[in-house]
Every structure is written in structure tokens, then in C-alpha cells.
Amino acid sequence: MEKKSKISMSTHEAIWGYVFLLPWILGMIFFVGGPIIASLILSFCEWDLIQPPKFVGLDNFIKMFTSDKRFWASLYNTFYYTVFSVPLGIIGSIAVALLMNQKWKTVRLLRTIYYLPSVTAGVASAIIWMWLLNPDFGLVNYALSLFGIKGPLWLADETWSKPALIIMSLWGVGGNMIIYLAGLQGIPQQLYEAAEIDGAGLWGKFRHITIPMLTPVIFFNLIMSIVWSFQIFTQVYVMTGGQGGPSDSTLVLVLYIYQHAFKFHNMGYASALAWVLFIIILIFTLLQFKLAGGWVHYEGELKK
Amino acid sequence: MDETKKISFWESKKKQNFIISGILYVIAWAGALIFVVPLVWMIVTSLKTPEEIFTIPPKWIPISTITLNYDLNIKSQRDGIAEFSKRDDGTRIITIDNFHHVIPESATVLVKKRTKITKGQVIATMPKQGIVKIIEHDDKTKILQVVDENGALIKQYQLPENIKLFVKDGDIVKPGTKLVRINPQWQNYVKAWAPEALDETFNRYLLNTIIITVFGITGVLLSSTIVAYAFARFRFPGRDVLFLIMISTMMIPVQVTMIPTFILFKYLGWIDTFAPLIVPTYFGGGAFNIFLMRQFFMTIPYELDDAAKIDGCNYFQIFSIILLPLVKPALATVAIFGFVYNWNDFLNPLIYLNSTSNYTLALGLQTFTTMYGTDYNLMMAASTIVLLPILIVFFFGQRYFIEGVATSGLKG
């Protein structure tokens, strides 16, 4: 009795493993897997939540790609935002991480300051930026005026509304900075010492040690940054009152999905839009995994 | 000869590094200054009067003084013939070549009707001094008037609540006298907390947010630790595949699950309740948190489990008595991330909460801005109210943020 056989022990363990896993499995079924399938089915339907859903085949997608100008606008705006905010964000956060990796006495305080804006992200920081970017009395345009530049209307101007969002996103680089900082601190000091003996300068060390050793972190961060930037919503909603204006210049994909689902109650069309977003993110992620071999350096991992 | 050359080379390199480090230091602080300005500006603006907001150049200290200021001599702006007219309120208008000069009651007019005036000529003089008269309103705001001996108005100032008067009723003042100091407008926070244009006060939003956050964090902590325990400590078929699936759910945009989930909650009758915001946290607690907890569990040696097993502990006891106390820092990290997430979350409350009495701080703040679109002082006060708890938690829990990111970002 005391001694169970080896098989029953491992079965016992497996059963308990599944028991502990149960909350997640249920969550996966009810809040992830189920809804994903449901939204795929919905994307082929028309449903206003009042009448029963009606199967319409590919109509939603055909309409989207052939006659929905706002869809194309939202796609363009989302890509525009991603194309600029992701690379600038990564460069910015690496640059700040390099600075924060110095051995200064005040470096902890500096880290705090740089990190702070990334925890305040949300409605409040969107409001702060509305005020900073106020065309007449905002600090940004005042700062520009000190250099003799007449600042644009920012959020009230079609051409400057997206750059305004990008600038705002850069305020949050502190969050990724911490990830890169941890990455930098994980680079063995001997590598630098060896390089110094070989006569490498600051640039050489950066180019041939820091960057390659950081590529796994950059890779992970790049994927997540793209995933997140495709989902930009709160800032736009708050700054434009849920409209995505002026003249749809800040209508991003998620805002458009939101409008169709919860303002116009086109659940089918909104699901189709959400699936397009999902597929775009999927393609980008898979593409990056495919390209990763070319530039991501896994030497550090082998040491484990 | 060779020797000295070598030393100077090292010295120059050291010097070079020192200079570079110095430049970087300056850049780092300049950048930090730019990063902190928005938050400082938020607080500064929140303490200003409506008039103080809209000034160029911007005022960095929300304290200002009002100095009695008027020209003793009113000069003509144009050449032309003087025409006289009178407004209903008694002020006189002298029109010279289509330019209207407003002449206060207390001024002495020096020109006659239909006379020829040249530009720059003095057309009226103001009294050299005046008497202070203070009128208080019911809403605690004041009007400060400076009048001449006949009671005719020279100059009038509308004053906010929070002021320090340098003069009192009946004082005789000349141009250049400091009249009032306007102090930081702390009552902006009172006004923002209980906005007149909204049905609810921030009391309600705060309470709702606290309820959602507390139950949300509890759910995340309970379920993410249990699930992470399963992933870290048990061998069962399909574990690694499930773990991979779990990790890849991080890349699924919430929008793709949002609509069916909304419909599900609608059928359950949970719309406009907190349940859709709380209940899902008890089912896994989010891939990131599970991953983070698992990483922490992995660092604890298995021997502890084995020893506990020999002592007769079951899996629940191993989990709660042995392992949980050892991952306290990770629990703190998850709790803090959960706090920040719930506090800032906007999309979910926006979708699920309809009545203002159920709004969270984020939703309340957004509604506030739609009602007070240009009252930036009040908007900044409201934003400060919403951000303050986050800032406090951040300053006390900084370590956990940084540890959390470092653990999850690197060892993956």
C-alpha cells in the first residue's frame, strides 16, 4: 500500500498537474479558444444582436477590401503608426538603456524618471498630451517657438495627428528600456575585457558585442512591440473623443473595430475586421521568426 | 622614450572616456528632464486659475501677483475728428477715425466734440490714485474694484477663491501697487473631485476601481500561481505543447476574442456589472503572469518539494506552505503589474460598463474631459487624482517592477 508502483505515481502526478492547470484550461476554452473560433464564424455572418445572425459568406471581407474606404484608412493609419513608433521606440529604449547602464551615482534616480511614464500610460497621460500639444498654449509648440519654429496644430491637423501619437508613444520607452537594461547587464564583462585587449574601441565593442548579445532581447521586444502597436486604442479614443479625427486621420484599426462592434452593432463586420488584424499580426510574427535566423544571435543561450 | 609615450596614451584614453562619460551624463539628464516635464506640467497646470493657463510664455510657478496697472494718459491711436458716444453702462466712447477708445467713467476727457485730434495726443486722463473696493460673491470669488472719490470705476479685477489680499477695503492705491497674490488653486482638486457637470463624483469611480482592482489582483494571483506551479513542478503529457500555446496567446490581439466574449457576457446578463472585468482573471491570470511565476518557481530547488513529500505533504501543502512563501517577490511583482493594468485599463470598462455609477476612474476621467474640454486646470487636477495612487505604488514598489521585467524578459 505504502509503495505505489512507478506508473501509478507518475499518473498520480499527471492528474494533479492537470488539476492545477484547470483554471487556465477553462480560461483557454471560454475566453480564448472558444471566442477565437466564434469570431471566425461571426466574421462570415451579419448580426446586430437583435435579429438572429445571418450567414453572408465572404460578404464582409469583400465589402471591406473593395468598398470600405474607412477600412483602408484605418489600415493605413495603423501601419503608419507602427512603422514609425516601433523602430523609433526600440532605438530610443536601447539608447536610454545604454545611458542607464553607466555607473553614475544618480543612475537609479534617472532610471526611475525614464521608467515612470510607462506606468502612467492610459487616459490620464493622453489628456496630459492633449494639453502639451495644444496648438496655442501647449508646451510643445512653445518649445518650438523658442527655436523660431511655428508649431503645427497637431491633433487638429490631418498631417500632424499621427506624428503626435508617435511622439506620445515615445514618452513610454522606459518600459522597454528596463528590458534592454536587464539584457545589457546580462552581457558577461569578460567579453568586453577581451575585446579591449584586442584593441576594440567604444564603437567596436558596441557593434560587435553589445548589439549581437542583445539581439535575442531585441527580437522578443520587436515582436511584442509590433503586436502592441497594432492594438493602439486608448490614446486615440481619448484624444479624439472616440472619433479618430480629424477626417479619419487617427482612425486606427482597433478603434474602427470598436466603432463597428459597439456603436453600429455590426458584430459580424467587426469580427471580420478583428480577424484581419489577427492575421496581420500573425503574418508579422511568423515573418519575424522566419527572418530571426539571419540576425538573432543565440550564442549566449548555448552557455546555459 | 617609449615608456612615456605609452603612459600618455593611457592617460589620453582615460581622459577621452571621462569626457565621453561627461557628455553622456549631460544627455541623460537633459532627456530625463524632458521625460519628467509632462508630469510636472500636469501638476503645475492643475494649480492654476483659468486665466493663468492661457499665457505665453508658460508660467512654471502657479503663483502670480496682480499689480494695479493703467495708463494715466489715454492717447489717441489715430488722426481724425473726435466723435462721442455713450454705452448703456455709462462708459464713454471716443471714436477717432473709426478707432473706438473706451473711456472709463472716472477719467477726465480733455477733448471736445468734433475737434481735430492728432495721433498720440492725450485725449483723457485717469485719476492718479483710487480707492479699493472689494465685493464678495456667494461662491467665494471676489471682485476687486479700484474707484475714484466719486465712486466711478477705474479698474476691476475678477479674483479666484484662493488669494492673499495685499490691500483692504478703503485703501488708497496708485498704479504699480501690488493688490493681490493668487496662490496655488488647491480647490481645483475639490472641483475636479466632485464635478458639477457630472452625475457622479470621483468617490464613486475610486470605489469602483478599487473593487475591480482588488478582486482582479486576487484572481490573477490565485490562478497564475496555481497554473505556474503546474507548469513548473509537474510532469504530464502535453505539458510543453500547452506551455507553448500559453506563451503564444500573448500575441493574440484581445480584439479577436473581445466580441464573442462580450456576447457571452451579454447572455449571462453581466453587462454593466463588474463581473466581466473580474471573473476572467480567475481563469489563468494572463500568460505573462503565468510565465513570470513559472520562471520564479523554476529557481527553487526540487529537493524542497521532495523533502516535503517525505514529510507527508500533499501537493496543495507543498504549494501553499513551502513554495508560496519563497516566491513572495514574484507575487509582489504580479500584484503590482496587476494593479497598474487594472488602474489604467480603458477598453474593457468602456465596453462593459454603461451607467456612470459603475464607471472606473479611467472612464470617469475620459467623461470628465468631454465635459470640461478647455478647463485644462481642472482636467489636469482630475488626471493627477487618477495618477497619484499609481505614482505612490510605483515609488514604493519600483524594485518589483524592475525585477519582474528582468526575470521575464531575459530568462525566456
Profile chain B (412 residues) by mean pLDDT over runs of 10 residues.
55 77 92 94 91 85 84 86 81 85 84 85 87 82 85 84 84 86 88 84 93 95 94 90 91 91 94 95 90 87 86 87 87 89 93 93 92 89 92 84 64 34
Task: Classify residue A211: in a domain, yes or no.
Answer: yes
DSSP B80: E
* pLDDT at position B258: 93
* Chain A nearest CA to B100, separation (Å): 28
Q: Using CB atoms and an 8 Å cut-off, which of residues 197-256 of chain B contact chain A?
A: 223, 226-227, 229-231, 234-237, 239, 242, 245-246, 249-256
Say yes or no for a CB contact (<8 Å) between B227 and A24. Answer: yes
Say yes or no for a CB contact (<8 Å) between B239 and A17. Answer: yes
Does one domain contain both A50 and A71?
no
Say yes or no for a CB contact (<8 Å) between B253 and A277. Answer: yes
> Quick one: how far is CA B184 from the chain centroid?
16
Which residues on B lie below 8 Å from A11 (Cβ)?
none
* pLDDT at position B385: 92
Do A229 and A86 form a contact (C-beta atoms < 8 A)? Answer: yes
Does one domain contain both B176 and B199?
no
Which residues on A lie below 8 Å from B29 (Cβ)?
106, 110
Task: Classify residue A62: in a domain, yes or no.
Answer: no
Dihedral (C-alpha) A60, A64, A67, A70: value to the nearest 10 degrees?
130
The chain B residue lying nearest A182, using CA atoms, is B406
Q: What whole-number distance in Å separates Cα of residue A275 and Cα of residue B256?
A: 6
Which grid coordinates belong to A12? Answer: 498520480
Task: Classify residue A16: in a domain, yes or no.
Answer: yes
Which among A18, A121, A254 has CB closest to B236?
A18
Q: Specify the amino acid at residue B304.
A: L
Say yes or no for a CB contact (<8 Å) between B410 and A186. Answer: yes
The chain A residue lying nearest B338, using CA atoms, is A119
Domains in chain B, number: 3
* pLDDT at position B1: 46
Q: What whole-number distance in Å separates Cα of residue B235 and Cα of residue A189?
A: 37
Which residues on B lie below 8 Å from A128 (Cβ)?
38-39, 41-42, 380, 383
* Exposure string for B172-191, b = 16+ CB within 10 A, e = fewer: ebebebebbebbbbeebbeb
Residue A284 sits in a domain whose CATH number is: 1.10.3720.10
The reply to whether A24 touches chain B by the CB within 8 Å rule is yes
Q: What is the ipTM of this complex?
A: 0.88
Does one domain contain both B276 and B405?
yes
Does one domain contain both B342 and B388?
yes
Q: Which residues, listed in sequence order, are joined to residue B103 by a DSSP beta bridge?
A: B92
Do B223 and B285 form a contact (C-beta atoms < 8 A)? Answer: yes
For chain A, residues with pLDDT lower than 70 are 1-7, 299-304
Q: What whole-number distance in Å separates Cα of residue B363 and Cα of residue B347?
A: 9
Local structure of B403: helix, strand or coil: helix
Mutation site for A-interface testing, chosen from B37, B202, B255, B376 by largest number of A Cβ within 10 Å: B255
Contacts of B164 (CB under 8 A, 6+ apart): B180, B181, B183
Does one domain contain both A207 and A126?
yes
Say yes or no for a CB contact (<8 Å) between B253 and A281. Answer: yes
pTM: 0.86
Residue B404 sits in a domain whose CATH number is: 1.10.3720.10
Does one domain contain both B197 and B179?
no
Say yes or no for a CB contact (<8 Å) between A220 and B412. Answer: yes
Other Cβ atoms less than 10 A from the Cβ of B342: the count is 24
Does one domain contain both A75 and A49?
no
Say yes or no for a CB contact (<8 Å) between B234 and A13. Answer: yes
Does one domain contain both B101 and B209?
no
The chain A residue lying nearest B400, using CA atoms, is A178
* pLDDT at position B9: 59
Which grid coordinates belong to B282? Answer: 480567475
* Chain B nearest CA to A271, separation (Å): 7
Task: Classify residue A81: in a domain, yes or no.
Answer: yes
Burial class (CB within 10 angstroms; exposed 0-12, middle 13-18, buried 19+) of A100: buried
Q: Tell me the residue range of the domain where B13 lies.
A: 2-46
Say yes or no for a CB contact (<8 Å) between B28 and A178. Answer: no
Q: Which residue has the cell 585587449?
A: A197
Does one domain contain both A104 and A243?
yes
Does one domain contain both A26 and A126?
no
Q: Tell me the residue range of the domain where A262 lies.
A: 67-302
Does one domain contain both A16 and A122?
no
Does one domain contain both B174 and B200?
no
The reply to whether A139 touches chain B by the CB within 8 Å rule is yes
Domains in chain A, number: 2
The reply to whether A220 touches chain B by the CB within 8 Å rule is yes
Do B220 and B286 form a contact (C-beta atoms < 8 A)? Answer: yes
Does one domain contain both B88 and B27?
no
Half-sphere exposure (Cβ direction) of B42: Cα atoms closer than 13 Å:
23
Mutation site for A-interface testing, chosen from B40, B54, B213, B257 by largest number of A Cβ within 10 Å: B257
Task: Classify residue A49: in a domain, yes or no.
Answer: yes
Q: How far is CA A288 from CA A92, A170, A222, A296, B23, in A?
A: 21, 23, 9, 10, 36
Task: Classify residue B59: in a domain, yes or no.
Answer: no
Which grid coordinates belong to B120? Answer: 498720440
* Exposure string for A202-240, b = 16+ CB within 10 A, e = fewer: eeebeeebbebbbbbbbbbbbbbbbbbbbbbbbbbbbbb
Which residues on B lie below 8 Å from A7 (Cβ)?
none
Which grid coordinates belong to B410? Answer: 531575459
Task: Classify residue A60: in a domain, yes or no.
Answer: no
Does one domain contain both A34 and A177?
no
Q: What whole-number distance in Å separates Cα of residue A135 and Cα of residue B240?
A: 54
* Chain A nearest CA to B262, separation (Å): 9
